[in-house]
Structure 1
């Protein structure tokens, strides 16, 4: 019998910071679902098989040029995954203004900048999905990461304000809060530190980048989920 489910029209998807780790896994998941996927990257090389656009989320002109390229190649962005970010870990009393400002500018203001640019096309189309990549640290806290935690928790207010502002135009804004995910960063941790972290996770293991990617694909399909925070942390944060 023929498949009764109609084929979905491929969407124009943009993943910032999509050349490695979680961002790359997200890009791969959307491509596997049949979407047209572009990724931004600040350094290194664009991953094969994707439209790669060099961009810096702290530079509005750079972002505008990147969006113009994506729009010309695959149409206005319909799904935005704001994943690009950085960290500058340091104890509170030793943290400099520069270390604090750099992280807030890249992670929180950067997410705001890409969302601001993306909604131009979404408002015209009367549909769109915005997904912010936060962290369990944003809700849970972490010593030595006051800047990072503040930037990631700020995404919740950002998403919920966008949801209230643009929800009536068919645009959703949601947040994914990953926990400890098996990436190059976590693999560099000493084994004793990794074991300590695993002991705090009810699932007893680190997550895989594909776990986060599946959450992003879900939120891009879920038109009646708006302003939500979806934890992908093995139970570490218990939704907080």
Structure 2
């Protein structure tokens, strides 16, 4: 059993946007010490910090999730090994185009940022968790790749998310008797800038409404809903879910054709 809420240290990658913002706010509201990363959005990170209640203990670190040097730099900056690590940062089919030009380089960037970066950071944090005999590691993947496949998605995007789900299962197998709990959550159509860019921004208002109506449950999933599930998965009540790869897609994982019809 690990520390109780209010006395934990939590590391969240990608905490300045999307689900990450609600993760930072959710853990901070419990009284936990929160360290979160951002890549180029320092202003957004500062806004997240300023939005937290007075007395919150939070700090933001610049971090490039696909860079070995940045991984090592972050590990050196952290005051200690966190009790909880949420590997939330990631690139998507549309957002990778903002950073890298060229199809082959974009494919490499997706694999590097979404799969290799979390692997490197996890390997850097594991020794401290093992020596302490406790810890929580939660990977945030995607229903596309982590659970099922959707035609029309960039191949490297789905591959990278499948790799994350595999990493979670493999790591769980390796840490069964270590006191560390490992899980993976695979959100579906979540109302984030990343999903907006990949699936909605190119649609007319009418097409957008039809797209959302055709999604499982006829809705976009609020980021806070996924964040609350993540926070639960990092609690002692979820220890029996060690090794689980959880479909948090509102039904897209079991009926992907609903989404296929909209592409």
TM-score tier (shorter): 0.7 to 0.9
Contact 1:88-1:100 within 8 A present in 2 as well: no
Query: How many residue pairs get matched?
Result: 228
Match of 1:188 among 201, 207, 220: 201
2:88 to 70, 83, 86: 83
Paired with 1:97 and 1:111, the residues of 2 have a C-alpha distance of: 21
* Consecutive unaligned residues in structure 2, runs of 5 or more: 53-57, 97-101, 257-263
Q: Indicate the SS of the match to 1:140.
A: coil
Q: Which moved more, 1:226-235 or 1:127-136?
A: 226-235
2:230 aligned with 1:216:
yes
Q: Structure 1 residue 170 and structure 2 residue 179: aligned?
A: yes
Q: Is the 8 A contact 2:144 2:158 kept in 1?
A: yes
Q: Deviations over 1:112-160 (max 9, x none)?
A: 1121112121111111111111111112323132111110111111001
Shift of 1:69: 2.1
**Cα deviations by residue, 1:41-74 (Å, 9 ceiling, x for unpaired):** 111212315300111122223222222322x2xx
User: TM-score under structure 1 normalisation?
Assistant: 0.87
Match of 2:39 in 1: 42
1:236–1:59 CA distance, 2 compared to 1 (3 A)? same
Bigger CA drift: 7-16 or 31-40? 7-16
Cα distance between partner residues in 1 of 2:24 and 2:139: 14
Q: Tell me which of 202, 218, 221 is aligned to 1:207.
A: 221
1:150 aligns with 2:163: no
- Which residue is equivalent to 1:113? 120
Name the counterpart of 2:241. 225
Runs of 4+ deviating beyond 4 Å: 6-9
More displaced 10-residue stretch of structure 1: 172-181 or 197-206: 197-206
Query: Are 2:119 and 2:167, in contact at CA under 8 Å, matched by a contact in 1?
Result: yes
Answer yes or no: is the 8 Å Cα contact 1:206–1:234 preserved in 2. Answer: no
What RMSD over aligned residues (CA atoms) do the two structures have, in Å?
A: 2.3
